Structure 1
Amino acid sequence: MDMKTAPYLSIPFIALLFWACSTSQEVAVGGNSSVPPAPDYVQPSAWAALPDRKDAADEVPVGMEDHQLDGRTDIFFVYPTIYTQQREENDPWNADIADAKLNKKVDEGTIRFQASIFNGVGRVYAPRYRQANISAYWLRDQELQKRVFDVAYDDVRRAFQYYLDHYNQGRPIIIASHSQGTTHTRRLLKEFFDTTALRQRLVVAYLIGMPIEKDFLQNIPVCDSPDQTGCFCSWRTYLKGHYPEIHKKGNNIANTNPLNWSSDTLYASRELNKGAVLRSFKKIIPKVCDAQVHDGLLWVNKPKFPGSFLFNNPNYHIGDFNLFYQNVRENAATRVSSFKF
């Protein structure tokens, strides 16, 4: 794939995201920025993926098939931060969903490379939302920070409510998200599933790329086997031996190994890695990396794929889904098969 048409996996983008996800530098408040108009989820343009139209979530690597039309499950996918450019003083803290350039990055990046994982088991819905600029994670002004993330969550919440009211029709649901998406879906699970009857329709939640406390939810446990349903999986991928700055050993962070689907510390060799999807989306690359749960992190030895010698940052956040693409795809099918319809 041409690097210019795959910004989500381009080297400059990876470098920026690795910087953003590893730094602990706080960002000072600057300027008075307006909030872009709220999405209207009645409009198809407010969705990055809908199952009844052609979009990037329909795409599959060679040898796979899109089963959205005959799948028995719905997937509600919330994408990570793509609004990563450095803000000027009067730029909005929240992205405008009418930004065509940003939408192109979303579609050609995370929708193609992450949301497409789930088209093998059901219909994929991915709302556009006024995501927070990545620098909002390090705002010194906590009140402003809360407002910025509340704007983003309100969009995700309204999109999910619209999906329930108009699209779901009582079908089982998979929640899937990465990075900032997980910042919002953890709230979504708490509000819509944890203590409500909707929990009975939850196949699984893949809450990837952000730390989730093991006991964050009252009634939805951490997944600990590959066919368990009504549970959530979570992991954050780093080079073996690396601890992020804010990590505390022995913490209460949930972690699921996507090669053996256990939360124990048993080592899983690269032989269990069914295949990653990297820059060339059309090609599955097996045995890219191993994995082992360690102190609330997922540690892997350096992945092996064409060009991997270029990647020396120990933070593999960008590959949380992609390094285990085929394993996650097959696991979603396993859990759907185990779900009691």
Structure 2
Amino acid sequence: MTYKKLIYPIGIFILLLSACGNHTDRDDKDTTSYIPQAPCYDDSSMWYIRENNGVKQAADVFYIVSTWEKDWTTTDGSICHYADVYNPEHRADMDKEISRIADYMGDAGDFYSPYYRHITIEVWATQNEDTINNRFRTAFDDVRRAFDNFLQRRSDTDRPFILAGFSQGGKAVVELLKTMPADVARKLVAAYVLGYKVTPADTLATENIRPARGATDTGVTICYNSVSDVRYIKPVVAAPCAMCINPVNWHTDATPAILQDTITVTVSPEHHVLVLNGYNGSEYHPILGFLNVGDFHSCEPWLYQESLHENILARVNAYYAKKRT
């Protein structure tokens, strides 16, 4: 979960009221909490979209943003544990991350990222998986509906696609893979789960989750979390985890890789995390005392972005090459 760390230019979006998202609700676990109006993904204001018509072998990107909002209070005193997609400030917060991701993932093809009612940082700070999963159901309902809309609204519905998400967005990627029909999964170039875990139970729940073994295999899941030492693994995002791949050298064993000339990145095959030496992550402040404390959670999409950019394009090329054979 990043939380209001990034500062980046954003576009101006017009808020449109949607006929298919005009209801509110109460949290079924807490009668004092409030759930905002659901987004309607036929409404273009519920999307960040960047078109890229200059790619011959294109793959569209569906990206799911991480956590940006804190708990907030409505005018009648109800507590809300979710982002409000009809609040321009909340959409602008999400844009800070999404626009930067689009800068390097969008080279693969058209880039789509939905605004959704993501759960707040305080929900994650409970570090209680039951609480997180119960409240995440609302967030994932949005993501699932947005993904269905994405599959229909693309200019070429037969074109392959890439799934990617950071932190809470990575959790959503895992859940999408578990519910994805086989005919849709065949068009998947790769799924990037950045800064979140893929549990052993997740891998048993679907054949759509297969760990990446190298730099160009397709239809696979890329997963990693970064720490300074394995004692700083945070279970709420990183354990138990069934897979990890080094995004610098694309090895799954303990072969080290050098990043930016000074950072050594090594997979711990036992713990399925990346261990970094020569990096202190000082640009990322602790989040409510439980993240960015010995772990490097907030760095995941940014520290490796050059490697991720190159890898996405390589996997897209590999997908098309395989299709031709």
Name the TM tier (shorter chain).
0.7 to 0.9
Matching residue within 144, 150, 164 for 1:163: 150
Do the aligned partners of residues 40 and 219 (structure 1) sit closer, same or farther apart at CA in structure 2, a change above 3 Å counting?
closer
Matching residue within 40, 44, 59 for 1:73: 59
1:91-240 matches, cutoff 5 A = 91-108=79-96, 110-137=97-124, 139=126, 145-167=132-154, 168-193=156-181, 196-213=182-199, 215-216=203-204, 217-240=206-229
Matching residue within 299, 323, 334 for 2:275: 299
Q: Distance in 2 between matches of 1:140 and 1:263?
A: 28
Do the aligned partners of residues 77 and 291 (structure 1) sit closer, same or farther apart at CA in structure 2, a change above 3 Å counting?
same
Do the aligned partners of residues 45 and 291 (structure 1) sit closer, same or farther apart at CA in structure 2, a change above 3 Å counting?
same
Q: Distance in 1 between matches of 2:263 and 2:169?
A: 24
CA displacement at 1:264 relative to structure 2 = 1.3
Give the aligned partner of residue 34 of structure 1. 34
CA displacement at 1:323 relative to structure 2 = 0.4
Check conservation: 1:289, 1:304, Cα contact below 8 A.
no
Alignment of 1:326 onto 2:306 = yes
Larger proportion of strand: 2
Identity of aligned residues (%): 24
Structure 1's unaligned 5+ residue stretches are 1-5, 11-28, 53-66, 271-285
Q: Distance in 2 between matches of 1:269 and 1:144?
A: 39
Give the aligned partner of residue 335 of structure 1. 315
Check conservation: 1:78, 1:127, Cα contact below 8 A.
yes
After superposition, the CA RMSD in angstroms is 3.0
Q: Distance in 1 between matches of 2:128 and 2:235?
A: 19
Q: Distance in 2 between matches of 1:121 and 1:186?
A: 21
Check conservation: 1:259, 1:324, Cα contact below 8 A.
yes
Do the aligned partners of residues 245 and 182 (structure 1) sit closer, same or farther apart at CA in structure 2, a change above 3 Å counting?
closer
1:155-192 Cα deviation digits (max 9, x unpaired): 00001101112215111010000100111111101111
Structure with bigger RCO (C-alpha 8 Å, 6+ apart): 1
Task: Output the amino acid matched with 1:298.
Answer: L
CA displacement at 1:241 relative to structure 2 = 4.9
Matched position secondary structure for 1:114: helix
Q: Distance in 2 between matches of 1:142 and 1:80?
A: 17
1:130-152 Cα deviation digits (max 9, x unpaired): 11112223559977654421110
1:49-71 Cα deviation digits (max 9, x unpaired): 2134xxxxxxxxxxxxxx55425
Matched position secondary structure for 2:139: helix
Do the aligned partners of residues 288 and 336 (structure 1) sit closer, same or farther apart at CA in structure 2, a change above 3 Å counting?
farther
Task: Output the amino acid matched with 2:109.
Answer: G
CA displacement at 1:44 relative to structure 2 = 1.0
Matched position secondary structure for 2:163: strand
Q: Distance in 2 between matches of 1:73 and 1:250?
A: 31
Out of 180-189 and 110-119, give the one that drifted further: 110-119
Check conservation: 1:239, 1:302, Cα contact below 8 A.
no
Do the aligned partners of residues 310 and 141 (structure 1) sit closer, same or farther apart at CA in structure 2, a change above 3 Å counting?
closer
Do the aligned partners of residues 337 and 186 (structure 1) sit closer, same or farther apart at CA in structure 2, a change above 3 Å counting?
same
Q: Distance in 2 between matches of 1:44 and 1:309?
A: 33
CA displacement at 1:290 relative to structure 2 = 2.4
Structure 2's unaligned 5+ residue stretches are 8-28, 287-291
TM-score calculated relative to the size of structure 2: 0.77
